[in-house]
Amino acid sequence: MRTNQLGPSDLHVSEIGLGCMSLRGSDRENADTLHRAVELGVNFFDTADLYDHGQNEVTLGKALKGLRDKVVIASKVGNRWREDGSGWDWDPSKAYIEASVHQSLKRLGTDHLDLYQLHGGTIDDPIDETIEAFEELVQEGWIRYYGISSIRPNVIREYLKRSNIVSVMMQYSLLDRRPEESAFELLHRHGVGVIVRGPVAKGLLAGKPPKAYLEHDQDEVAHAQSLLKACDKPNRSSAQSALLFALAQPAVATLVPGASSLAQLEENAAAANAPALSEAELERLREGVTAHIYRQHR
């Protein structure tokens, strides 16, 4: 498994990481999945305090006990569960971020996070206050680096101007190419790494029946699937081609697809060693699927 430097940090992350929100088993079953991921060369694991009311962090921490020096752990903050559990509210305040990191560390069973990410963000947030919180956590040693998880161009631009983020997590796939127009070149120019979520578009690029997705209707999704199928080789599946399509962007450091089974985990990880898509294949995919743009938060 190849690794890439994450932006200007000294973190080197596997090209294929694991989005831990997909973990749905018992602690023992999840540990089997996570240990197999490490065996396959995966070293980047992304979670959030939001997932399963923090239990996602707990199960990840239990599984990675004894493996801490081999892995890069990223979590996220900003979505505050209501006391009655009915939902969550957005809270990017300094007080909440600085209190939440200690809860995440406790659940994960570690003394520091490699990467702490703001789990969203709007242009109306107290951005300087939010940045100050992350900067203080770095200085105090609770986190090594920080980033944001956002698809909003206006928010991304503000953090590039005002902070020391090393990464931006954003959705990107053959069926969601909006970052190509508004983010990738800008982030690459600033040396900030991209962490891609959703590279198989909720499974639509990994074998699920076609249905409408974002601005694509069902027929357009089916066409995208057929274009990927045309890229199949004995040692490269359509799902792997979908992952390789995302990895072909120079700004992208790692992908964090989920894995609902060990077989899916192994297929995802094997994409790192599958033949890269040729320029001709990439061009056919790009020409064959419409690239939309962000219409809001510009």
Catalytic residue set: 51
CA gap 85, 154 in Å, rounded: 31
**For 226, which DSSP code?**
H
In 3D, which of 178, 218, 199, 187 has the Cα closest to residue 264?
Answer: 199
CA gap 286, 232 in Å, rounded: 16
* 214-226 as b/e: b if 16+ CB within 10 A: eebeeebbebbbe
In 3D, which of 194, 136, 137 has the Cα closest to residue 160?
Answer: 194
Query: In this structure, what are the phi and psi dihedrals at residue 140, rounded to the nearest 5 degrees?
Result: -85, -10
In 3D, which of 11, 2, 1 has the Cα closest to residue 165?
Answer: 11
Helices (H), 43-84: 55-63
